[in-house]
Amino acid sequence: MNRYKGQLRILVAVDCIIFGFDGKDLKVLLIQRGFEPEKNKWSLMGGFLEANENLDEAANRILKQLTGLEDIYMEQIHAFSKVDRDVAERAVSVSYFALIDIARYEKQISYDYHAEWFLINEKPDLIFDHDEMVELARKQLQFKAAIQPILFELLPENFTISQLQNLYEGVYKTTFDKRNFIRKLMSTGLLIKLEVKDKSGSRKGAYLYKLDKRKYNAKLDVFFNYIHDRSELAQQN
Amino acid sequence: MNRYKGQLRILVAVDCIIFGFDGKDLKVLLIQRGFEPEKNKWSLMGGFLEANENLDEAANRILKQLTGLEDIYMEQIHAFSKVDRDVAERAVSVSYFALIDIARYEKQISYDYHAEWFLINEKPDLIFDHDEMVELARKQLQFKAAIQPILFELLPENFTISQLQNLYEGVYKTTFDKRNFIRKLMSTGLLIKLEVKDKSGSRKGAYLYKLDKRKYNAKLDVFFNYIHDRSELAQQN
DNA sequence: CCAAAAGTGTTTATACTACACCCATGA
DNA sequence: TCATGGGTGTAGTATAAACACTTTTGG
């Protein structure tokens, strides 16, 4: 086995932007760093790529370490590589975002890491280039969510329309007309209305909905083909 | 300066997917690898990240090395990290795509690397995971081009409508109705019709157009905000 | 009985699709 | 004169946006 002589070998890190939703607000999970350098400052959860794993596996390992969760929606965002981005040593870091439902998993989060949920707009300043990572992940989330129904990953299994609307409004920092909103969502054919009502949010109670998982998975696959073959999408239900 | 003990340090590579357009077809620039391992096989142009540069700078350095070109549209696509993706040694590679106008720059390409343009659909099999990189870059190009006018980077300064249409049809592997196509393109307000005609493609000659660079740059900025504030876009001309 | 959130339709404007014929020219 | 690519308009459909009142019920 030949090796490449005289080349630079450096640390490769993975940092996770973990988005969560509690039914009302969009949040991000941060930890207080437990080791030097920059000990005790707020940071994304991260770690170094190890010998026997690829980046996706590393991201999943790191997410599990902090939250105890597996099989979570994750996606690679971007490789960050400024020469002095890590004060201790040259390192490239690849950021990933993850989407989780806060209420369902809150108990499983490991408090070894002093993790806390922050409102996206009220988070503290982070170490290194982590602020930039969060900002890019937020844009990517907006972007993806506009063309793909990924935000359902942030919701509990059953949810109300206003929770869903709160989520979209949080992600896009705006408000939507609720009649137009529900019409559009319903036209995707992805929502199934349940008989049950959730009474926690109002006196009247709001109907719960759930995802049609079969259609949802089909739509995720079709993703990149959206330019042509809209007809296929239509047939597919 | 503290260092991170006991962690893996590896090679970080950059590989460039260089797309080109010759007025008729969409192509990709490949080289015949001049060194071991996998010497003489077809490959993307790549190189290793060096100590004094970030990934964007490395990608630009590598592009310049092969094509002599600077200030080219480039974009990071994805970090590839399978454990055994490089047969010689563990390496992560970050792919970039670049868009260039073949006709304008053909002469400057360095033939030290045995570079050749291939039709996207007729390229040879490539080493390592480079086929996967090209495929993802192609999808990303389709994707980006649908929401952002980046394909103009592939055209000469002045171009005809049918060149433009050929380009879009090549990128999306489809055909468009030419009346609807020009109407849509014109509605962006990005095209300026010139007095001059290009007589090379037909007897009648076709009017040349050029980009309104001022508006083009403005639109690139607005990119991620496309969800709200369409009104701003409208005002902006 | 009333505050607070849930739920529900219609109209208008805009964007997209499909479609076919004449024009100008050089060879 | 004719073959080749260039250029143009309209009608129908689908999608998106604006907009306000009634219902339910726990306290």
Domain of B180, CATH number, reads 1.10.10.10
- Note whether A29 and A128 are same-domain residues: yes
Cα–Cα dist A50/A61, whole Å: 10
- Note whether A82 and A62 are same-domain residues: yes
- Note whether B187 and B229 are same-domain residues: yes
**Residues of chain B contacting A49 with CB distance shorter than 8 Å:** 8, 10, 81, 92
Q: Report pLDDT for B13.
A: 98
For A20, phi then psi, to 5°, come to -140, 160
Q: Is B149 helix (H, G, I), strand (E, B) or coil?
A: coil
Q: Report pLDDT for B231.
A: 32
**Tokens encoding A75:** 């996606």
- Note whether B213 and B172 are same-domain residues: yes
Is the Cβ of B84 closer than 8 Å to some Cβ of chain A?
Answer: no
- Is residue B53 one of the residues assigned to a domain? yes
- Is residue B1 one of the residues assigned to a domain? no
Domain boundary among B111, B146, B181: B146
Is the Cβ of A9 closer than 8 Å to some Cβ of chain B?
Answer: yes
Domain boundary among A146, A181, A202: A146
- Domains of chain B: total: 2
- Is residue B98 one of the residues assigned to a domain? yes
- Note whether A224 and A125 are same-domain residues: no
- Note whether B105 and B191 are same-domain residues: no
- Note whether B56 and B82 are same-domain residues: yes
Quick check: B27 and B143 in contact, CB under 8 A?
no
Q: How confident is the model at residue A147 (pLDDT cuts 50, 70, 90)?
A: confident
Domain boundary among A122, A146, A170: A146
pLDDT at B225 over 50: no
**Residues of chain A contacting B2 with CB distance shorter than 8 Å:** 36-37, 88-89
- Is residue A89 one of the residues assigned to a domain? yes
Of the candidates A1, A146, A224, which has its C-beta nearest B88's C-beta? A1
- Note whether A16 and A99 are same-domain residues: yes
Q: What is the pLDDT of residues A39-84, one digit of tens each?
A: 999 999 999 999 999 999 999 999 999 999 999 999 999 999 999 9
Q: What is the mean pLDDT of chain B?
A: 89
Among all chains, which residue has been given the structure tokens 């950059």?
A: B14
Is the Cβ of B144 closer than 8 Å to some Cβ of chain A?
Answer: no
- Is residue A219 one of the residues assigned to a domain? yes
Instruction: Report the residue of chain A nearest B58, measured CA to CA.
Output: A81
- Note whether B55 and B138 are same-domain residues: yes
**Tokens encoding A127:** 């170490």
Q: Whole domain around residue A208: which residue ranges? A: 157-235
Q: How confident is the model at residue A1 (pLDDT cuts 50, 70, 90)?
A: low
- Note whether B117 and B60 are same-domain residues: yes
- Note whether B71 and B138 are same-domain residues: yes
- Note whether A40 and A72 are same-domain residues: yes
B146-149: which pairs have CB atoms within 8 A and are 24 or more residues apart? B146/A226, B146/A227, B147/B223, B147/B226, B148/B219, B148/B220, B148/B223, B149/B188, B149/B190, B149/B216, B149/B219, B149/B220
